[in-house]
Structure 1
Amino acid sequence: MQKRYLLQAPTLRQLELLLSLSEADSIASAGSKIGMTPSATSHALRALESALGTALVDRNAAKLELTHAGERILPHVRDAFAALNLVKTTANASAGLQGGVLGVGSFGPSSSLKLLPPLLAVFSQRYPGIEVRVTERSDPEIEQDIIERRVEIGFVTLPKSQFDTLALAVDELVAVIPAHFPLAIKDTIALSDLTALPLILTHAGSQELIVRMFERADLQPHFAHEMTQLLSILEFVARGQGVSVNASLALPEHYPGVVYRKLHPRTARQVGLACLNQERLSPAAAAFWQLARSTVRK
């Protein structure tokens, strides 16, 4: 009688690693994103490939690439985590809003400093039993976190056609100028005025918008510095090392030695909430969504 070999079922942890591999630049970094050591990552990947009976990562590729089998399996893995999220949602519905955890993604200072705090204050007061866990990452990473159900809702820049969205605020780009520079006396600064000065470019979420703004105006600024931290940019500007352009919602109300000025032509972006399907949110997420909606109406 011919023996039948049954494939071992993969674990959720192994499938989570496959999701992480789909957006990482190396196997080790994929494991690190979900809290696994390099050794544990290699072991989990080998175990997953053994369980599924096929290679999932192309070891001969110059960079991390999933095999054809890995790419075909990936959508089903996402579906599995979506189903798991529905299980959690159903359980939360049974418990109402008396307890549970709500994952919220935030893409940086514009949302974390200005939009989130007042919403969290009201939400925590109304639903003290709900623990809100905020994850701050870049805008593309928040999108991926929503898709992969790492967070249920997230603050993003709009539009985002692949999600259900709720516009919350308009975030205008402004010039950040040393208070002692001659330009500081103007109420509005022409974009062309900035091209003669060293410009400090942010690596944060508004970077692409800023670069496109200059391209549309057919201007070539002198990008003297590129920085990730907003406080570093503000301190460089305060010390006269250059000027910058930043999203207004990301900036503190005041910073010593620095002034903010409107730009001409005006450039702005919309900021809002996004989710996969607002009709299928957990009770906690639905309550947060409705709270955010009510603030827009005021």
Structure 2
Amino acid sequence: MLLALVSSDGIAGAGAKLGMSPSATSHALRALETALGTELVDRNAPGMALTYTGKQVLPHVRDVFASLQLAQATALAGAELRTGLLRLGSFGASATIRVLPPLLERFKARYPGVEVVVTEKPDEQTSQDLVERRLELAALTLPKRDFDTQTLAVDELVAVLPSRHPLARLETVPLKAMTSEPFILTRAGSQALVTRLFEKNGLRPQTSYELVQLMSILELVASGKGISILARLALPQYYEGVVLRPIVPGASRRIGLACLDESRLSPVARAFWQEARRYQASLKRSPA
């Protein structure tokens, strides 16, 4: 109101700018002066003039108004997703390297002003980050009954063998045949799935190594130190000295996007969630 008054020739003019009647404007001015405990307008001066205190207050009013405009512009930009920050969790290489990149590329093309930060931790820790609201969205192994989820990909376990190993000549590798060789067990995202596969079939591997780093496993396999079972999507397309073969019986896992409550996502997280749905729909429409 004060800014409208100083840029007008009187109460009526200021009211017109604000869409108020002269009477309502006068009452609003009185209420403002009462709240501040001092007069802001010199009513004895010709035209519209501020009192000494009014002149002292005016720069602060302008600062507040400018800050309010900036806040409104920032909020509007965020609502329209011209800017924003999305922290996205990932349980491991399968999601980080193979599943998320095409989705992130589509999202960045649609919302170039939104910054996306991907944080990779083990599946359990990433799930806990969702529960404790350090993240809104994360790529996790499914099922996750405590979360709203949507499937992004299906990953299968494969035998990881030295290229000159006798089992590498087979089109599919019997799981039982993998129990007579030194075995390298992953301690990363697919560990539980690999362990369950052996247990389900009443088998026990001859575990010689338990390793977290994928490259360490591949190097040991390539050098003939053992064989392994890993999730296909976590593996590079080619690694010298290593071949991949399907396992019989096999096992697979679903990789999905998860959140605590789909209906309560922030605008930027909701946009990513919806983009994931559009992406999956486009894959289903694509010819096989």
Give the TM-score taking structure 2 as reference length.
Answer: 0.70
How far 1:210 sits from its partner (Å)?
0.6
Q: How does 1:142-221 map to 2 (within 5 A)?
A: 142-221=126-205
Q: Quote the sequence identity (%).
A: 53
Conserved 8 A contact 1:92-1:282: no
SS of corresponding position for 1:210: helix
How far 1:96 sits from its partner (Å)?
2.2
Unaligned runs of 5+ in 2: 1-74, 284-288
Kindly tell me: are residues 283 and 164 of structure 1, through their superposed partners in 2, closer, same or farther at Cα, counting changes over 3 Å? same
Q: Say which of 238, 250, 265 aligns to 2:222.
A: 238
Distance, in Å, in 2 between the alignment partners of 1:276 and 1:141 is 15
- CA offset digits 1:44-101 (Å, max 9, x no partner): xxxxxxxxxxxxxxxxxxxxxxxxxxxxxxxxxxxxxxxxxxxxxxx58863201111
Structure 1 counterpart of 2:234: 250
SS of corresponding position for 1:111: helix
- CA offset digits 1:149-174 (Å, max 9, x no partner): 11110000000010000011111000
Max radius of gyration: which structure? 2
Q: How does 1:1-298 map to 2 (within 5 A)?
A: 95-297=79-281, 298=283
Distance, in Å, in 2 between the alignment partners of 1:191 and 1:293 is 36
Kindly tell me: are residues 281 and 255 of structure 1, through their superposed partners in 2, closer, same or farther at Cα, counting changes over 3 Å? same
SS of corresponding position for 1:154: strand
Distance, in Å, in 2 between the alignment partners of 1:218 and 1:95 is 55
SS of corresponding position for 2:118: strand
- CA offset digits 1:181-213 (Å, max 9, x no partner): 011011100000000000100010110111111
Conserved 8 A contact 1:155-1:272: yes
Q: What is the one-letter code of the residue matched to 2:119?
A: T
The runs of 4+ residues in structure 1 deviating greater than 4 Å are 91-94
Q: What is the one-letter code of the residue matched to 2:256?
A: G
How far 1:283 sits from its partner (Å)?
1.5
Give the TM-score taking structure 1 as reference length.
Answer: 0.68
**Number of aligned residues:** 209
SS of corresponding position for 1:290: helix
Q: What is the one-letter code of the residue matched to 2:192?
A: E
SS of corresponding position for 1:274: strand
Unaligned runs of 5+ in 1: 1-90
Q: What is the one-letter code of the residue matched to 2:146?
A: Q
- CA offset digits 1:32-51 (Å, max 9, x no partner): xxxxxxxxxxxxxxxxxxxx
Distance, in Å, in 1 between the alignment partners of 2:233 and 2:76 is 34
Distance, in Å, in 2 between the alignment partners of 1:262 and 1:296 is 25
Distance, in Å, in 1 between the alignment partners of 2:176 and 2:276 is 38
Distance, in Å, in 2 between the alignment partners of 1:92 and 1:220 is 59
Q: What is the one-letter code of the residue matched to 1:167?
A: T
- CA offset digits 1:256-282 (Å, max 9, x no partner): 000000000020111100001111111
Q: What is the one-letter code of the residue matched to 1:293?
A: R
Distance, in Å, in 1 between the alignment partners of 2:241 and 2:257 is 34
Q: CA RMSD in A?
A: 1.5
SS of corresponding position for 1:220: coil
Q: What is the one-letter code of the residue matched to 1:270?
A: R
Distance, in Å, in 2 between the alignment partners of 1:292 and 1:93 is 22
Kindly tell me: are residues 92 and 229 of structure 1, through their superposed partners in 2, closer, same or farther at Cα, counting changes over 3 Å? farther
Distance, in Å, in 2 between the alignment partners of 1:191 and 1:131 is 44
Distance, in Å, in 1 between the alignment partners of 2:110 and 2:204 is 50
Conserved 8 A contact 1:92-1:283: no
Distance, in Å, in 1 between the alignment partners of 2:194 and 2:114 is 38
Q: What is the one-letter code of the residue matched to 1:244?
A: S
Distance, in Å, in 2 between the alignment partners of 1:259 and 1:253 is 10
